[in-house]
Every structure is written in structure tokens, then in C-alpha cells.
Amino acid sequence: MRALQRKLLVAATTTVIASSAFAADDGELDACFSAAEAEYQVPSCILRGIHQVETSGSKSSNVVSRPNRDGTRDYGIMQHNDFWIRYFQRNFGITAQQIVQDRCLAIRGAGYVLRYEMNRARDFWTGVAKYHNPDPVIGYGYVLRVANAAKRFGCQIK
């Protein structure tokens, strides 16, 4: 767990530097998805599938959702919920504004969350479901949408 936390903290400091060095293009996002895959050992095609499902693949920064049914909001291109924003703030000093403005940090944060949930669930697809909702039964439909989207990014899902 501490190793995951250190990785995200390092990502938070390096992506701020990296994001200012890159133009806002597809190459930047490719590098971010690849970095998250390498850091958290989660398939980048799944992260891209999550991105597609969450924001229809929006490359725009400053994505903040309308309030959810429970009154929470989702932030950034990977739609981190208030729960995770509070977690990131408490453990790493990462704010909602940083997640919204730094697309690479949002992607790396998604890699962290996905790995965290996969480790807790001890199951890949349950971890994907829990990325969306703590109740994996509710997350089942989400898993299907992510799996279908991930196929477009090269995932071999049977």
C-alpha cells in the first residue's frame, strides 16, 4: 500500500513538470496512459476504456460532472469521485483542481485507484467494477461498457 502511495506522490510532482513540457495533444495522453500502465501494472487499454466510458474520451481538461444522485461530483478526464479526491488530498496533497487541470495526473490517479481496487478485491474485473462503485453488483454494467470500449484500444477480452 505504501509503495502505491509513494508512486502517486511521485507522479503528482513529476506530471506537473511533464504536463507543462508537452503540448496538449494525443501524444501526451499516450505517454500518460503508458506511464500509468507501467507504474501500477494495469493495462492501458482498460484505462483508456474507463476514460471512454467516463467522458466519451474527452481530451478537454476542466471536466467536472454535475452532482451525482448522492450529491458528490466527479473530476477530471477520468472522473475521480469526491471520495477519491478527499483520499488524494489527505494522502498526497493532490487537490480536485490539480486532477481537473492536469490530465496526466488524472490518468495516473486512475491507475492508482484501479490497482488499489484490484488488490482489495483480489480480482481484476471486480476491481474495475469497484473503480465505478463500491458495490460490484452495481458496477457490473460498468464492467461490460469498459470491456467493450477497451477492445477498441487493443485489449483482447473473451
Residue in the structure block whose three cell numbers are 482489495: 120
Instruction: Centre a 10 Å sphere on the Cβ of residue 30 and count the other Cβ atoms it contains.
Output: 12
Report domain extents, the chain: 2-151
Identify the bridge partners of residue 75 per DSSP, sorted by sequence position: 64, 80
Instruction: Centre a 10 Å sphere on the Cβ of residue 98 and count the other Cβ atoms it contains.
Output: 21
Give yes or no for residue 23 having a pLDDT over 90: no
Q: How confident is the model at residue 113 (pLDDT cuts 50, 70, 90)?
A: very high
Q: How confident is the model at residue 25 (pLDDT cuts 50, 70, 90)?
A: low
3-state SS, residue 64: strand
45 vs 14 pLDDT, higher one: 45
- The DSSP output letter for 6 is H
Give yes or no for residue 6 having a pLDDT over 90: no
| C-alpha separations of 25 from 63, 67, 97 in Å | 17, 29, 20
Phi/psi-derived region of residue 84, left when phi > 0, alpha when psi is between -120 and 50, beta in every other case: alpha
Q: What is the mean pLDDT of the chain?
A: 84
Q: How confident is the model at residue 28 (pLDDT cuts 50, 70, 90)?
A: confident
3-state SS, residue 75: strand
**Phi and psi, residue 120, nearest 5°:** -65, -45
What integer pLDDT is reported at residue 19 of this predicted model?
33
- The DSSP output letter for 123 is S
What integer pLDDT is reported at residue 56 of this predicted model?
83
Question: What are the tens digits of pLDDT across the range 75-97?
Answer: 999 999 999 999 999 999 999 99
**Domain 2-151 of CATH type 1.20.1530:** no
Give yes or no for residue 13 having a pLDDT over 70: no
What integer pLDDT is reported at residue 16 of this predicted model?
33
Question: What are the tens digits of pLDDT across the range 120-157?
Answer: 999 999 999 999 998 888 899 999 999 999 999 999 98
